[in-house]
Amino acid sequence: MAPSFSWWSNKDTHRGTPVVVKMENPNWSMVELEGPSEEDFLIAESPGRVRGKNAKQFTWVLLLKAHRAAGCLTSLGSAMLGLASAIRRRVASGRTDTDTDVEPIGRGRAVENPAVRSRFYFCIKMFLWLSLILLGFEVAAYFKGWHFGSPHLQLEYLWASPMGVKGVFDWVYSKWVLIRVEYLAPPLQFLTSACIVLFMIQSLDRLILCLGCFWIRFKKIKPVPKEGAFDPESGETGYFPMVLVQIPMCNEKEVYQQSIAAVCNLDWPKSKLLIQILDDSDDPTTQFLIKEDVHKWQQEGANILYRHRVIRDGYKAGNLKSAMNCSYVKDYEFVAIFDADFQPTPDFLKRTVPHFKDNDDLGLVQARWSFVNKDENLLTRLQNINLSFHFEVEQQVNSVFINFFGFNGTAGVWRIKALEEAGGWLERTTVEDMDIAVRAHLHGWKFIFLNDVECQCELPESYEAYRKQQHRWHSGPMQLFRLCLPDIIKSKISIGKKFNLIFLFFLLRKLILPFYSFTLFCIILPMTMFIPEAELPAWVLGSAYEWVVTKKSGRSSEGDLASLVEKEPKHQRGVSVPDLVEMKEEIRQQEQRASRKKKHNRIYTKELALAFLLLTASARSLLSAQGIHFYFLLFQGISFLLVGLDLIGEQVE
């Protein structure tokens, strides 16, 4: 037992608080520590004895504080060593984003053009080298007495005759300053002013959305479904129409079991529910495993079908379009769509479908996403914050006030009549979910977003998967806008809804925001450091906008797994033993081959070059004594540095 030491003054006279220190071998830690009161340091009836005990207490307090400080320094040192080790591994491996990896065949459709990527990287590199040369030039000028305290320069003395210039360097630098003032600063200032206007428009849009969200919370506005009649099959009172459930998937071996189990446990009358597993996998092993799982649930009584396309055109849109062409679909009134990594709760249909009752112009009920891995690493935490704003503010406000928002592609229930009137699924863009939502809105259908109904899924845990997902999400809206613009103009919806679609939904939020935010904070701001005559106001820096089949790991919450285990009875698989043994051997061999090609972290060259560019610009801002610009550029550069070294996502040993 570890010894403990305590000091108390005379119990009759001492009114201070005790200090108890527990000594543990080999380390010692504080069990209880309360600072001594002021009276502990006053001289009482026995000055010498009290002073001696207070001195001992004070000594131990100092020792404890020193121990705590040493622990903090040790933790900080360990973190820095771990960071340095990770950086060393990245550099030693030599893997970069220019290395070609084999992409999953199927829904990995919006692959970045290598030519465009190389040109963009070349431009960033040229900009970086130019900034380094200019930084060296500016540092040399600074030590020669060219001190500029603000972007507004007093240039009268620069117009003096060449004889007034002290030397060659001063003459060259004075000419450079004049070139900046007369030729470079005006167009840069124009771009800066244009971006500031866009920044103010974006800020106003965000302010209106936040005020709308506040009003919804203040008034407790919430969509309320109507009560239904008694259903004899389920023995409950409710609204139980015919519902079709679709799960499109492609080579997603890690997550198919969770999604199939979740939809097979939906609480809905079996005679009024049909589940379609739309498998576009080209891997025979994955096809067999999914088909085997479907057969298992069929034996358990689930009304579930397996579909595999021979001609796999159109990716997800083509898959859904093919499934909707089945003859039995005409018997169903609604269709619920879930991606392969989504796990709806058993009451999902009971909380979404009743909103369609006596609401004939309602075309879509969209549920909110929740994430089982939101606390996995820094990247997932940042994604959770960004998507939470998208759901709770953007989609909820647009749902309440204009009954329109972009379909999220999953965790939603469509009225089949709305899909048919809108023209069905089309393969013309990479954002088929946004496409069908816009076309349905143009036909007068309304949407509802349920912020309190959640469907669990996964966030990309690695930066590589996140980047591919974002590229797919952002590569199609402008193409869709070009295709839909004539239909929007000719549609019969109100002028206000046309304005919302053209200027807010497409131009502002899908085109202007991604473009201007990157241009303003990663291009124009560094340029204003080297051309300080073009001024960017400090108040703009108070706000900055965060700028293939996504790889899943098959995560699920412990509560959901436990509930599925409790509900899922034992089953017999209807497969012959020789085939099953042969397939298991093939799976084992594939896993061995996959183990030789493990995941790895890599260096992202564009992000790394941009990081050094921002850090160079932050160093230049010090020469002009622009404090807030320096701190913004510094932390922005560090952020890009962490991303470029792949230190914010999943770390692979």
Residues acting as catalytic residues:
280, 433
Q: Is 169 exposed, middle or buried (CB count within 10 Å of its CB: 0-12, 13-18, 19+)?
A: middle
One-letter-per-residue 3-state SS of 160-226 = CCHHHCCCHHHHHHHHHHHHHHHHHHHHHHHHHHHHHHHHHHHHHHHHHHHHHHHHHHHHCCCCCCC
State how beta strands 230-231 and 273-279 pair: unpaired
Q: Quote the strand ranges of 68-184, DSSP E.
A: none
Give the list of residues 6+ apart from residue 362 with CB closer than 8 angstroms, or none.
Answer: 355, 356, 415, 445, 446, 447, 448
- CB 380, CB 459: distance < 8 Å: yes
Using the 8-state DSSP alphabet, how is residue 603 labeled? B
Separation of alpha carbons 590 and 65, rounded Å: 56
Q: Quote the strand ranges of 299-343, DSSP E.
A: 304-308, 334-337
- CB 394, CB 500: distance < 8 Å: no
Query: Which helix H or strand E contains 23, and what residues bound it?
Result: strand 19-23
Residue with tokens 């009225």: 415
Question: HSE-up of 555 (CA within 13 Å, CB side)?
Answer: 17
Q: Is 84 exposed, middle or buried (CB count within 10 Å of its CB: 0-12, 13-18, 19+)?
A: exposed
Residue with tokens 């997800």: 316
Q: Is 539 exposed, middle or buried (CB count within 10 Å of its CB: 0-12, 13-18, 19+)?
A: exposed
- CB 630, CB 621: distance < 8 Å: yes
